[in-house]
Amino acid sequence: MLLRIARSREGARITHYDLYKVDLSRGLTVLDAIFQIQDNMDESLSFRYSCRGAVCGTCAMLIDKVPRLACRTQVATVKDSKVDMREPFAAITDIPAGWDSDNEILIEPLPNLPILKDLVVDMTAFYDALETMKLWAEPPGSEEPRLQSPEERERIDRYVNCIMCALCYGSCPVNNSKTEYVGPAALAKAYRFYQDSRINERDRFLTSAKAPTGAPLCELIMNCVRVCPKGVAPGGAIRKIKNL
Amino acid sequence: MYSHDILVIGAGLSGLRIAIEVAKDVDVAILSKVHPLRSHSVAAQGGMNASLGEQDSWEAHAFDTVKGSDYLADQDAVEVMARGAPRAVIENEQWGTAFSRTDDGKIAQRPFGGAMFPRTCYAADRTGHNLLHTTFEQASRLGVTFYHEWFLTSLVQSEGKACGVTAIDIATGEIHGIKAKAVVLATGGFGRVYGYSTNALINTGDGAAVALRAGVPLKDMEFVQFHPTTLYPSGILITEGARGEGGYLLNTQGERFMVEYAPKQMELAPRDIVARAIQTEINQGRGFEDSYVHLDLTHLGREKIMERLPGIRDISMFFAGVDPIVSPIPVRPGQHYSMGGIHCDKDGITSLSGLYAVGETACMSVHGANRLGGNSLLETLVFGRLVGQKVKEYVSRDPDVNSCGVEQAAFEMRERLQAILLRESGESPAEIRAQLGEIMDNEVGVFRDQETLESALKAIRFLKERSEKIALARSDTRFNYSLIRALELENTLDLAEVITMTALMRRESRGAHWRTDYPERDDESFLKHSLVTLGDDYLKTEYIDVNLGMFEVKERTY
């Protein structure tokens, strides 16, 4: 199998693409494939990784023009798994010269975040939203665990499953055009706290989510729902925030 | 010049919990080679033990842990952990962790291997993920300072005290010295010494290897946990919770073979016993494709699987093409946890003043020869808090680190790494890594004997020699992950040597360490912890006593 990989030695922009051939084996993932390249063909190729089991959210990248986790994407079947990206922007629509889309997997850095080197992007803006929106609970400081019914827990289940991989951020046309937008993951997390029956000051999460850099900027394009690897469906939460 | 009161290495649950404990009173920073949310704690699935039930008690939890450890755990440390467990669970609940609930709204608990009560609190099968995200939120709330994506290269000491580290800022490739009055190693396990492991690719034992090189002893390194059920062929973890919820293990004959190995506890015997049972079935020809057995959940039904084990279903479908609602999951044992680690006591105090260890990288020892499922998340949070208090006390005495030569150490490290980067030809780290993984998988695995261990030790030493001549083809400084991985490889090689040496020296079978040539436990000679210290150019080994006292040492049956 051939992989065409975006390169950027100094960061900021993709300077060129390199083409590599990897050996296909049973269950080979895109992450396995790019390790093969780093190990045996080009040691200078940079990319992030950690758990290789789709729980740590580290290896987000643009694969065949769709934001995906490299560890969860099978080389053998990636050509069969189409995702319809609505209102596509330049990183999605620009086709690199020479890409044979039938026979080569195209691998590029996750869009909407500055490129630092090759497939490594600067996640600062994505992480900063968690802090500026204060997305944490204030502990009540009692000695007893609180009660929460299974139904109440179920209301937040979808949102606590978020692994902060930023695929939603990289898929969002609003994040592409408005750098001030906090993005889908942060809003889903705010909604998770707002919906948590145990939280006392839940209104502050709603206020934060409805700030001008938050839910009002969302245009309900729902690419975030299409690319989310954990079924969080941030767009659904944002729609609810907008209606509150 | 970077300087802090306390520098924590590692941003998993242990490191974060330490920082939370001390953040209000002292200047603390956490250095981690990945963003905290990418730490391996995130991958823990099944849960965290605490005796919350009315019929349960901390004593019962302690007893199960000690028995599970094949009596090698230090009972004073186990007592601290079992007593502290309910508090640790409640604290994280207060911070916001979304534990699964019973119908009356209490924190739900599921049965786990080796436990006589359903004692394992969980958040579906994503407990580590929930705890890590929540604990990171609290560290953020307290404004903890982070060095994101910095890689530890050495420990610096002066006048018999730890006083800082050297580390690479991965983004720039610069090597810096960071001074600290105390250093806490919370770098997690070292599963990637093996080829086939449930561990994240980042689990290379950097803290343990750096401690070893600094002359700090490592303890009980021969005790490596092989998780019974890892997904074939990727090695991704399939939680013990799958058996806790009622899953069966079946061989090619369709038999629940655990009846032969642990007739009472069956699938919920401790991990060492279930792992050996599965490996025996495979070795004796009752495995599928000579490689795996079946973990059958189909009788649990769609609803229970979707509610309790949704992550397992996801993993099975994506990584093995199997939907556990309709088909059994292919599983085999694989490296999972490092019971051994940096020698320290229940306060995290190591042999070097100012150096502390906590979590999987430490060996206190609460797990002895075999850890029970649900006790590792617990260890991180209970001891993160307690060790945090001890470190804070230590730095409040204002240890003098003025003469600490972190800049000189950074200069020397720069020279050493420059030499690697400038070497134009030499050995391939990828090849050495692959060979190391194969040796450890095949020769230092579930079943061990003298001959294969000796051959493994010889091969590892040869790989170590080769690793001194590695060359990297390109010398970019920014985000040079090839360099980082080469340094991680050095760490795993050093630890592999210690694991294999101690496995060779322990001529008995205890917990996860099974010698086919010495199949009995030998309390007279080996009811002891092994210690390995690096001398000038040799590894010194010795044995020290186990802290007993609460529970009598008995035969271990399930």
User: What is the secondary structure of A138-190 as a DSSP string?
Assistant: -----SSPPP--HHHHHHHHHHHT-----HHHHH-HHHHH-TT---HHHHHHH
With CA atoms as reference, report the closest residue to A64 among A34, A96, A86.
A96
Each residue of B151-188: pLDDT tens digit?
999 999 999 999 999 999 999 999 999 999 999 999 99
Residue of A nearest to B44 (CA): A55
| Interchain contact, B171 vs A116, CB within 8 Å | yes
B176 included as an active-site residue = no
Binned at pLDDT 50, 70 and 90, residue B224 comes out as very high
Interface A–B counts its CB contacts (< 8 A) at 162
Cβ within 8 Å of B, A 182-241: 193, 196, 198-199
Binned at pLDDT 50, 70 and 90, residue A173 comes out as very high
- Identify the domain boundary among B374, B396, B418: B396
Place of tokens 């093996």: B194
Do B77 and B203 share a domain, yes or no? yes
Do B357 and B275 share a domain, yes or no? no
Domain that holds residue B425: 406-530
Q: What is the CATH number of the domain that holds B517?
A: 1.20.58.100
Task: State how far the Cα of A2 lies from the Cα of A33, in Å rounded to an integer.
Answer: 10
Q: Is residue B512 a contact partner of residue B521, using CB atoms and an 8 Å limit?
A: no
Each residue of B479-491: pLDDT tens digit?
999 999 999 999 9
Place of tokens 């620009």: A94
Q: How many C-beta neighbours within 10 Å does residue A13 have?
A: 9
| Interchain contact, B35 vs A42, CB within 8 Å | no
Token pair belonging to B509: 């079978």
Each residue of A49-75: pLDDT tens digit?
999 999 999 999 999 999 999 999 999
In a domain, B468, yes or no: yes
Do B452 and B526 share a domain, yes or no? yes
Residue of B40, B176, B243, B271 with catalytic role:
B243
| Angle CA B328–B334–B335, to nearest 5 | 150
| Interchain contact, A145 vs B472, CB within 8 Å | no
Binned at pLDDT 50, 70 and 90, residue A145 comes out as confident
Which of A47, A142, A163 faces B129 most closely, judged by CB atoms?
Answer: A163
Identify all chain A residues contacting B140, using CB atoms and an 8 Å cutoff.
130-131, 136
Q: How many C-beta neighbours within 10 Å does residue A37 have?
A: 19
| Interchain contact, A150 vs B101, CB within 8 Å | yes
Q: Is residue B183 a contact partner of residue B328, using CB atoms and an 8 Å limit?
A: no
* Whether pLDDT at B26 is above 90: yes
Task: State how far the Cα of B350 lies from the Cα of B366, in Å rounded to an integer.
Answer: 15
In a domain, B544, yes or no: no
Q: Indicate the SS3 state at residue A105.
A: strand
Counting Cβ atoms within 10 Å, is residue A42 exposed (0-12), middle (13-18) or buried (19+)?
A: middle
Query: Omega into B57 within 30° of 0, i.e. cis?
Result: no
Do B27 and B145 share a domain, yes or no? yes
Q: Is residue B364 a contact partner of residue B107, using CB atoms and an 8 Å limit?
A: no
Do B174 and B214 share a domain, yes or no? yes
Burial B234-257 (b: 16+ CB within 10 A, else e): bbbbbbbbbbbbbbbbbbeeeeeb
Residue of B17, B227, B276, B448 with catalytic role:
B227
Average pLDDT over every residue of B411-440 = 96
Complex-level ipTM: 0.98
Q: Is residue B81 a contact partner of residue B133, using CB atoms and an 8 Å limit?
A: no
- Identify the domain boundary among B367, B396, B425: B396
In a domain, B186, yes or no: yes
Do B453 and B497 share a domain, yes or no? yes
Distances from the Cα of B338 to the Cα of B323, B334, B347, B361, B376, angstroms: 31, 12, 19, 8, 10
* Whether pLDDT at B414 is above 80: yes
Counting Cβ atoms within 10 Å, is residue A92 exposed (0-12), middle (13-18) or buried (19+)?
A: buried
Do B304 and B367 share a domain, yes or no? no
DSSP states along B64-78:
HHHHHTTT-S-HHHH
In a domain, B500, yes or no: yes
How far, in whole angstroms, is CA B58 from its chain's centroid?
A: 23
Each residue of A105-143: pLDDT tens digit?
999 999 999 999 999 999 999 999 999 999 999 998 888
Q: How many C-beta neighbours within 10 Å does residue B335 have?
A: 29
In a domain, B133, yes or no: yes
pLDDT of residue A181: 98
Each residue of B99-150: pLDDT tens digit?
999 999 999 999 999 999 999 999 999 999 999 999 999 999 999 999 999 9
> What percent of chain B is predicted at pLDDT more than 70?
100
Which of A55, A138, A193 faces B129 most closely, judged by CB atoms?
Answer: A55
In a domain, B74, yes or no: yes
Q: What is the CATH number of the domain that holds B298?
A: 3.90.700.10
> Would the pTM count as exceeding 0.95?
yes
Each residue of B50-83: pLDDT tens digit?
999 999 999 999 999 999 999 999 999 999 999 9
Angle at which helices B301-308 and B310-320 cross, to 10°:
100
Place of tokens 């806490």: B184
The residues, any chain, with a CB within 8 Å of residue B402's CB and separated by 6 or more, are none
Total structural domains within chain B: 3
* Whether pLDDT at A27 is above 90: no
Q: How many C-beta neighbours within 10 Å does residue B444 have?
A: 24
Chain A interface, mutation test: which of B100, B206, B319, most A Cβ atoms within 10 Å?
A: B319
DSSP states along B133-171:
HHHHHHHHHTT-EEEETEEEEEEEEETTEEEEEEEEETT
Do B194 and B298 share a domain, yes or no? no
**Structural domains present in chain A:** 2-121 (3.10.20.30), 124-243 (1.10.1060.10)
Do B148 and B246 share a domain, yes or no? no
Q: How many C-beta neighbours within 10 Å does residue A201 have?
A: 9
| Interchain contact, A56 vs B43, CB within 8 Å | yes
> What percent of chain A is predicted at pLDDT more than 90?
95
Do B218 and B236 share a domain, yes or no? no
Pairing of strands B539-545, B528-534: antiparallel
In a domain, B537, yes or no: no
| Interchain contact, B98 vs A196, CB within 8 Å | yes
* Whether pLDDT at B474 is above 80: no
- Identify the domain boundary among B376, B396, B416: B396
Do B39 and B116 share a domain, yes or no? yes
* Whether pLDDT at A99 is above 90: yes
Task: State how far the Cα of B139 lies from the Cα of B133, in Å rounded to an integer.
Answer: 10
Task: State how far the Cα of A77 lies from the Cα of A159, in Å rounded to an integer.
Answer: 28
pLDDT of residue B476: 86
Task: State how far the Cα of B301 lies from the Cα of B91, in Å rounded to an integer.
Answer: 34
Do B412 and B455 share a domain, yes or no? yes
HSE (CB half, 13 Å, CA atoms) of B213?
Answer: 17
Residue of B nearest to A123 (CA): B35
In a domain, B149, yes or no: yes
| Interchain contact, A160 vs B98, CB within 8 Å | yes
With CA atoms as reference, report the closest residue to B395 among B182, B158, B83, B553.
B182
B513 included as an active-site residue = no
Q: What is the CATH number of the domain that holds B34?
A: 3.50.50.60
